[in-house]
Amino acid sequence: MYIFPNKIKKIAIAFMIVGFFGLAYGFLSAPKTIEQSKAMIEANHGDHHSAEHDEDNLKSHGASTISEGSENHHNDELHSNLDTNLNNTEAHSEGHGDAHDKHVFHQLANKPWAAFYVSAFFFFMVSLGVLAFYAIQRASQAGWSPVLFRVMEGITAYMLPGGIIVLVILFLSSLHLNHLFIWMDPEVVAHDKLIAGKTGYLNAPFFLARAIFFLGGWSLYRFFSRKFSLAQDKASDISNHKKNFRISAAFLVFYIVTESIMSWDWIMSVDPHWFSTLFGWYVFASMFVSGITAIALITIYLKSNGYLEFVNDSHIHDLGKFMFGISIFWTYLWFSQFMLIWYSNIPEEVTYFISRIEDYNLPFFGMLVMNFIFPLLILMNSDYKRINYFIVMAGIVIILGHYMDVFNMIMPSAVGDKWFIGVPEIGGFLFFLGLFVFIVFKELTKAPLLTTGDPYVQESKNFHY
Amino acid sequence: MSSNRFIHALYDDDDTLLKAVKNIRSENYHIEEVYTPFPVHGLDKALGLEETRISIMAFIYGCLGLIIAVVMMNFIMIQDWPQNIGGKPSFSYLENMPAFVPIMFEMTVFFAAHLMVITFYLRSKLWPFKKAENPNPLTTDDKFLVEIELSDNEKGLTSLLKKSGAIEVSVIEKSE
């Protein structure tokens, strides 16, 4: 049995506390009203590049003095009231300045929410990726991986709580507490024929119902698979193993459909004017490779502390091969999506990449280096894949690279060019990292780290490549 | 002067062969060659053969293919005649790079694969009309053969091979 080391527990809790304060700071420092956001922007411009934006400042000053009177008595009300206020001023032909201020206000107000959402989704995605990998190992009757089943089951323990947090964020969005999903704003939908045409699919009740259904389905598989896996240890026949095989195969069918729809819902719909057909696969590749990397990192950690003496460097080698291969698979999908849109250059599709290349140049292409070129060169050598140091180094870069991937998927639509990897973003990452580590290591203590009843476990223990 | 007499031991099982090879090597005999009808897992380790470096060569060939693709397309599409073809930006290589990536990829794979195969043929001396070298045609079907150079201890070696499970031990003289 694994004992949760106190040191890790303390580090995880410290991460959560630091991350919580980082997120809280983000929420407290985000503007509550349009005036505050304008003041923040002006202060920023004054600080950094005053000459460049003098004209901008003048414009917003003008707009603010004109609309001040009409806005003051709305200050404490919801932003939908501000919207009506905006329409009133629009009628008075001061619409542009106000629309811009409102736009910037939404971006700044979205920042902590987006930081929260990106990290929440990222760590959820890691454990869902591990669940998919686990189901594939079960359904394909892999002979090498049964010694890693308990590590995978430990990681997938995070999926339900992590998924619930994501669900709560989605629910709060549908209550208009943030502006992450602009199609949830009835004011936007009313003036946007494109989104209005999608309301049959993109409406909050159906959206939340789908999310609950997906998370429910995945959690049911996770629950029963874990149950059968534990029961198999005590069983005298392999009926539990067979049951696990069957539900894993069924789960994979369910998963590939629901994962695809989930990626449209939770990620693609932050940008409801844009669509891509391979997006589901793209998100899948991202979660799959970060999930496999998480398995490798935790396996190496546990082994180096002497808990997995039956894991040899051939298992690490196989995980390294998966990290290498799926990293390339992810790049293939990233490039297929990028190149097809870049090549045809259809305006309604290409804006997605234009905003990313112009406002997110370093994160957008930096992520390509982290997720493709670095693992490609590091993990190509067969000998390096057996050395823990290389796997850990490549693994950390891959994990951070795929965090950047999710960051690049969410942020441009949520905060636009107001992005920064600052306190709320790092805080969000640390908070969920702490929570992830805490839940995963807690789950690892609940069962022996070696499945004893699995019919393939002997083969797996003797696995050599 | 090394002698031109060789001892040939025939085995009918790959497990026996592996054990025999380990035995022979632990007695400090030098194994000249082993002939098998199929790859025997672990035989190269038992023989103490050096690891192949063909994958390193493949990597270098791949880099070569990539460089050739880049230089070629940079010259043709950007330097020599930068036409406007359907509005693609042919001002610099980087600006138009996504359109070149499929070719860069394929050229990398093409060079890596083909030059690696050719390297393999050259290093293992394989080509059409090459005279086959197997000392016993049975080794292409179901028998395994170990060839050891013979000096003066023919008796000891024969008994060692017999003991290690050889079904037939014979002394061959090569005229070269």
For the residues of A199-226, what is the DSSP string, one character each? Answer: TTTS-HHHHHHHHHHHHHHHHHHHHHHH
User: What is the rounded end-to-end Cα distance, in angstroms, of chain A?
Assistant: 28
| Residue A97 pLDDT grade (very low, low, confident, very high; cuts 50, 70, 90) | confident
Determine the distance in angstroms separating the CA of B102 from the nearest CA of chain A, rounded to an integer: 10
B86 touches chain A (CB under 8 A): no
The single-letter DSSP state of residue A452 is: S
pLDDT in tens, A426-457: 999 999 999 999 999 999 999 999 998 889 99
Average predicted confidence (pLDDT) for chain B: 91
Q: Does A338 touch chain B (CB under 8 A)?
A: yes
Most confident of A50-64, A88-102, A348-362: A348-362
The phi and psi torsions of A287 (rounded to 5 degrees) equal: -70, -30
Query: A338 contacts in B (CB within 8 Å)?
Result: 98
Concatenate the DSSP letters of all residues of A91-141 into one string: HTT-HHHHHHHHHHHHHHHHHHHHHHHHHHHHHHHHHHHHHHHHHHHHHTT
Tens digit of each residue's pLDDT (9 = 90 or more) over A107-131: 888 899 999 999 999 999 999 999 9
- Percent of chain B clearing pLDDT 90 (strictly above): 69
Q: Which residues in chain B are closer than 8 Å to A382, comparing Cβ atoms?
A: 55
* Residues of chain A contacting B101 with CB distance shorter than 8 Å: 335, 339
Name the residue type at position A424: P
Q: How far is B98 from chain A (nearest CA, A)?
A: 6
Selecting from B55, B59, B101 the residue whose C-beta is nearest the C-beta of A335 gives B101
* Res A263: pLDDT: 95
pLDDT digits (tens, 9 = 90+) for B47-64: 999 999 999 999 999 999
Q: Which residues, in sequence order, are CB contacts of A134 under 8 Å at separation 6+?
A: A149, A152, A153, A156, A225, A248
pLDDT of A289 higher than 50: yes
- Number of A/B CB contacts below 8 angstroms equals 12
Give the SS3 label for residue B7: strand
Q: Would you state the pLDDT for residue A46?
A: 52
Average pLDDT over residues A197-225: 95
Residue A265 CB neighbour total at 10 angstroms: 21
Read off the pLDDT band of A249 (50, 70, 90): very high
Residue among A339, A296, A338, A330 at smallest CA distance from A402: A330
- A335 inside 8 A of chain B by CB: yes
What does the mean pLDDT of chain A come to?
Answer: 87
Q: Give the pLDDT of residue B176.
A: 57
Q: How far apart are CA B7 and CA B161, in angstroms?
A: 10
Which residues from B are below 8 Å from A339, CB to CB? 98-99, 101
Q: Note the pLDDT of residue A75.
A: 41
Q: Which of A343, A380, A382 is nearest residue B98 as measured by Cβ atoms?
A: A343
Contacts of A19 (CB under 8 A, 6+ apart): A426, A427, A428, A429, A430, A431, A432, A433, A434
